[in-house]
Amino acid sequence: MTSEQANYRLPVILAVVMTVLAGLGVAVVVPLMFFLSSTDVCQIRPGADRDRESVVGPWGPHQVDHAETIIFQGIEQGMTPFAWQIALATALQESRLEMYANEDVPESLDLPHDRVGSDHDSVGLFQQRPSMGWGSVAELMDAATSAQKFYTALLDVEGWESMSVAEAAQAVQVSAYPDAYEHWAEEADILIAELTGLESWAMCAYEYSPPSVGASGWVAPVDAPLWDGFGTRGGQHFGVDLGAERHIPIVAAATGVVRTSECNTPQGCGEGSREFSGCGWMVVIDHDHYLIPEDAVWDGMATRYCHMQSQPLVSEGEWVTAGQVIGYVGNSGDSSAPHLHYEVHQNVSPSGRVANATAIDPVAWHEDVGAPL
């Protein structure tokens, strides 16, 4: 978070939230509590009203206002923060968060708007079309109503919760450019963090509780079935694949220092493909001398975590503790479905740089340290 952005927070105070709940009834309380849990990170931070002339990154005041409205409507409809991200990424791609009128839709020109377009009869933040049954022109050029309609359509998409941002957005929008939405996923994530304070919002989409770290100082990075083991499978597999769902928190398997936190896929770290190379968003943690108990002698230990959904939550040089969330399961890099590729390395050089030659079987190692995968 930059210093220029640090003070911008969505003005969600308890009175507003309680008013929303009272107005919408019990049916909304359950899904809201699903992500607004007792964990501190899942509490939308209260604060003074945002300066209405403030900007967030490249987005001007009126664009930030529209982003706030999209998030507020998600809250009112009991949608998870992942749904907010999908909605924001869609609006960013379709309109760059500008309220569009349409020169071929005369009624739209008489309504408040930021810009004028000419694509079919598309109007508004989401470029929704009255002729396709999205609603009236007036409804679609109202930020709150158009966001409500987007979320309602998203709920009709079976399995959207486990899709990528691009897949879910495309299922709603049916765009001629289905891959374009993924480009905006990270920017949407930044807007959510800046406007709500939920910098680690993906944890809020689950009933998450920190794992228990064993006496050895180790813990499984995710609780998920083993998809593929260590060893030969046509080519050497230097780790294991754990079949966790997208956005499940990944934790540090042991205490240590982050040596690598990066995207190492030349094709970029959006939605992955088997045609890509590399781990996508990944983290390497050096556990040399940091393990507990203190008399443990496991010098040269390191772990690697691949295919994360988005930029890791930890940075190079940062100290992390066993069980700390470092990122979220995703499908970036050389990957065909959301999962965690996890590696354990032994006798790693003092630089903490892992190599195929230092990889050992994670299943066997975790059995030995009493933290089975």
Same domain, 279 and 169: no
- Phi-psi group of 215: left, alpha or beta (phi > 0 → left; psi -120 to 50 → alpha; rest → beta): alpha
Residue 6 lies in a domain: no
Q: Which residue has the higher pLDDT, 323 or 50?
A: 323
Q: What is the CATH number of the domain that holds 320?
A: 2.70.70.10
Phi and psi at 123, nearest 5°, equal -140, 165
Q: What is the pLDDT of residues 84-116, one digit of tens each?
A: 999 999 999 999 999 999 999 999 999 999 999
Residue 107 lies in a domain: yes
Same domain, 257 and 128: no
3-state secondary structure of 172: helix
Helix extents (H) in 163-275: 165-173, 185-196
Same domain, 150 and 287: no
Q: Which residue has the higher pLDDT, 238 or 25?
A: 238
Same domain, 178 and 263: no
pLDDT, residue 24, reads 40
Same domain, 116 and 199: yes
Same domain, 164 and 24: yes
pLDDT, residue 202, reads 55
Residue 48 pLDDT > 60, yes or no?
A: no
The whole-angstrom separation of Cα 90 and Cα 296 is 50
Residue 92 lies in a domain: yes
Same domain, 164 and 275: no
pLDDT more than 90, % of the chain: 44
Average pLDDT over residues 265-274: 85
pLDDT, residue 104, reads 95
Confidence of residue 245 (pLDDT cuts 50, 70, 90): confident
- CB distance 325 to 313 below 8 Å: yes
pLDDT, residue 117, reads 95
Same domain, 232 and 326: yes
CA atoms within 13 A on the CB side of 252: 30
User: Measuring CA to CA, how many Å separate 214 from each of 178, 180, 219, 232, 319?
Assistant: 45, 44, 6, 30, 19
Same domain, 91 and 26: yes
Provide the domain limits for residue 175: 14-205
Same domain, 114 and 237: no
Same domain, 167 and 84: yes
- How many CB atoms within 10 Å of residue 296? 17
Confidence of residue 309 (pLDDT cuts 50, 70, 90): confident
Residue 213 lies in a domain: no
Question: Which residues in 132-178 belong to E strands, given as ranges?
Answer: none
Residue 273 lies in a domain: yes
- Mean pLDDT computed over every residue of the chain: 80
pLDDT, residue 8, reads 34
Residue 1 lies in a domain: no
Q: What is the pLDDT of residues 60-80, one digit of tens each?
A: 999 999 999 999 888 888 888
Domain end, chosen from 176, 205, 234, is at 205
pLDDT, residue 51, reads 57
Confidence of residue 184 (pLDDT cuts 50, 70, 90): very high
* Domain count within the chain: 2
pLDDT, residue 112, reads 95
Same domain, 198 and 258: no
- CB distance 371 to 218 below 8 Å: yes
pLDDT, residue 186, reads 84
3-state secondary structure of 321: coil
